[in-house]
């Protein structure tokens, strides 16, 4: 008996963004140049497959600088860190390499500039996320107010009613939800300053747009990514809001919810910005073992962004 037919629609773009690719390269190049072990403060990116592969090559992931022995390189993750972290590394005479995504660093510089200009800063983001901790940690405690929801934006009260306001955003938020929060802030504070260029990164925006395009054509969707990955979780939300309720987050093929998908004819697949293409291929192969699969890539935009490595690793 022949296997049932199934169409897989692959979102494009999907998977690694330039910031994630750069961060992984930084760990690999540091290992090549200085040898193992190389220590990394926090997960370099939010993906266990990536982290475990780097561990096999000699990377050691730790929570704090106090866990790093003397005389070994330490790398800061792509999500960025508070200013206190490199300051502590310098105080300890540690050799550190910063793998912060340049688009996150841009938000850090915006925060510094706004404070220098005497503005009160609102950050739109998710409390406890490493990127938010890093951005808020660019300034002294209390200098940045966090707004997570439209309700928060309605209730927000400036610390200084006479100061000019500016807002920043986490780079991996839902484009639509962020727009609603910004509109709420603008309705209350018409003069609030916005970023010169959108803070939500190109990769987040493009992946959400691709999912929107796919969702209405699918009776099931899989987002390949980690539960602690903000951009992956936002893809699940966007897919549901765009017309496909049967959406699951999977870390790899072993997580595929076969029962939920057994009556599907068209399944959409995307991957968060920290999920490698290898995991997409693994999922496609798993479906091919159960179905007669046809694969179509649905391209909504093309990406050609690359970021330079830190100078210390260029040679």
Give me the catalytic one of 52, 90, 131, 177.
131
Q: Are 135 and 104 in contact (CB under 8 A)?
A: yes
User: What is the per-residue DSSP string for the chain?
Assistant: -PPPEEEEEEEES-S--HHHHHHHHHHHHHHHHH-S-EEEES-SSS-HHHHHHHHHHTEEEESSGGGSPTTS-EEE-TT---THHHHHHHHTT--EEE---HHHHHHHHHHHHHHHTT-EEEEES-TT-HHHHHHHTTS-TTSEEEE-SHHHHHH---SSTTSPEEEEE-TTS-HHHHHHHHHHHHHH-TT-B--SS-SS-HHHHHHHHHHHHHHTT-SEEEEES-TT-HHHHHHHHHHHHTT---EEEESSGGG--HHHHTT-SEEEEEE-TTS-HHHHHHHHHHHHTTSEEEEEEEES-------PPPGGG--
Go through 126-153 and write b for each residue having 16 or more CB atoms within 10 A of its CB, e for each that does not.
Answer: beebbbbbbbbbbbeeeebbbbbeeebb
Active site residue 52: no
Distance (Å, whole) CA 113 – CA 99: 22
The neighbouring-strand residues paired with 121 are 144, 166
Catalytic amino acids? Answer: 131
């Amino acid at each position: 008996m022949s296997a049932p037919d199934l169409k897989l629609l692959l979102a494009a773009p999907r998977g690694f963004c330039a910031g994630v690719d750069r961060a992984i390269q930084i760990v690999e190049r540091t290992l090549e140049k200085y040898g193992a072990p190389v220590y990394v403060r926090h997960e370099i990116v939010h993906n266990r497959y990536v982290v475990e592969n780097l561990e096999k090559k000699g990377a050691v992931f730790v929570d704090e600088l106090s866990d790093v022995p003397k005389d070994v390189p330490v790398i800061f993750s792509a999500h960025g860190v508070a200013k206190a972290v490199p300051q502590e590394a310098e105080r300890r005479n540690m050799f550190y390499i910063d793998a912060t995504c340049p688009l996150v660093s841009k938000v850090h510089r915006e925060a510094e500039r706004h404070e220098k200009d005497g503005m009160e800063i609102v950050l739109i983001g998710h409390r406890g996320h490493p990127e938010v901790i890093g951005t808020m940690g660019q300034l002294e405690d209390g200098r940045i107010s966090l707004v997570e929801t439209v309700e928060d934006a309605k209730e927000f009260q400036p610390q200084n009613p006479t100061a000019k306001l500016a807002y920043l955003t986490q780079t991996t938020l839902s484009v639509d939800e962020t727009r609603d929060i910004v509109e709420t802030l603008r309705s209350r504070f018409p003069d609030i300053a916005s970023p010169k260029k959108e803070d939500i990164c190109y990769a987040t925006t493009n992946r959400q747009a691709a999912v929107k395009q796919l969702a209405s054509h699918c009776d099931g969707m899989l987002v390949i990514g980690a539960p602690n990955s903000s951009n992956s979780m936002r893809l699940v939300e966007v897919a549901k809001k765009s017309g496909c309720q049967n959406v699951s987050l999977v870390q790899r093929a072993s997580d595929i919810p076969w029962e939920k998908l057994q009556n599907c004819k068209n399944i959409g697949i995307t991957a968060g910005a920290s999920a490698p293409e290898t995991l997409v291929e693994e999922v496609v192969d798993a479906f091919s073992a159960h179905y007669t699969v046809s694969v179509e890539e649905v391209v909504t935009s093309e990406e050609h962004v690359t970021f330079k490595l830190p100078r210390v690793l260029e040679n």
